[in-house]
Amino acid sequence: MAAWSSNKKWTVLCFLLWITVTCMLYQNQTTFRYIKTFLDNSTGFLSSKTCACQKCLTDYHPWFLERFNKSVNPFLTRENSLSSEAYNWWKNLQNDHAGFTGYRQVEEKLFGTFPIGADFVDPRPDRCRTCAVVGNSDNLKGSRYGPMIDINDVVIRMNGARTKGFEADVGSRTTLHVMYPESAVDLANTTHLVLFPYKTPDIRWLISALTTGSLKFMSYKQAKARITANKDLVMVLNPAFMKYVHEKWLEKHGSYPSTGILTLVLSLHICDEVNVFGYGADKDGNWNHYWEVIESKHHRSAQHNRNYEYNLLTELSDHEKLQMFRG
């Protein structure tokens, strides 16, 4: 035990010496920023591993740690409510005119309706939580990825995604289903509903859709008045997380992040190992869903920089922060 303690102290001293020498040699802001980010995130060999995987997402990597902030809680809770600063950014996404006071009233009703907690944000050094992020691209057809998807601890799907009839290619399990009102679908009783709210009325819709169904929600597309889902498994993305993704990960490219990139970065915060399926176009360059041909091209919104977002995905793959299955 004494020898082990001595070796550990020697390792720490060597590392501190390396920092000192590096700073003296280079003396530039980038070096200092990398070191500060490294220490702030408490990763690397000075601390114990953050997960039990062979590689952990938060293992030291300068490019990744410049963007990733593990202290950001993705979900709205009473302890992690939306700040006025983040609200002022968020309200401009979809011309939200509720005002911060009006938003606070809706947020309080949300917490009074659902037992919302910060699920899936509990990293442990003795666990390797694997996640499959399943997009809706037509490139999943014929992939036979179903068993590879279902073997993950957490399976995340988005918007109108369906599994019935497509199990061989997309799997059958769903742990988290991400949606917003216009993309809402009914869910199994064991699936967590994760709302991505782009405006205050989205949260009003969620409350109504799982209770009275009385709200008439009008947007570019009529949302379902009622949906089936387990009220005890409801989670809502904190709009501050959208701001964080827009500023840190997308470097303000596009007006705001797409559902796809938000889901991807969310997975980096709740998973130890990330596997991505069904992102991008098919082999012929088409952007259809695996269950339908898209007639409307509204999904190619000018609000999102699709090329930048997809390049971010491939860069994460190149840096081995996730594994991408292209179909």
Q: How many Å apart are CA 172 and CA 149, to the nearest integer?
A: 9
Q: How many Å apart are CA 327 and CA 134, to the nearest integer?
A: 12
Q: What angle do CA 288, 225, 74 make, to 5 degrees?
A: 65
> Which of the following is catalytic: 177, 246, 269, 304?
304
> Which of the following is catalytic: 87, 198, 256, 290?
256
The CA-atom distances, in angstroms, between 60 and each of 37, 41, 68, 156, 284 are 10, 9, 11, 26, 37
Q: What angle do CA 83, 237, 95 make, to 5 degrees?
A: 65
97 among known catalytic residues:
no
Let me know: does 93 contact 304? Beta carbons within 8 Å: no
Burial readout 187-219 (b: 16 or more C-beta within 10 A, e: otherwise): beeebbbbbbbbbbbbbbbbbbbbeeeebebee
First to last CA, the chain: 50
253 among known catalytic residues:
no
Chain centroid, CA 297 distance in Å: 24
Q: How many Å apart are CA 193 and CA 70, to the nearest integer?
A: 23
**Any idea which residues carry the catalytic annotation?**
256, 304
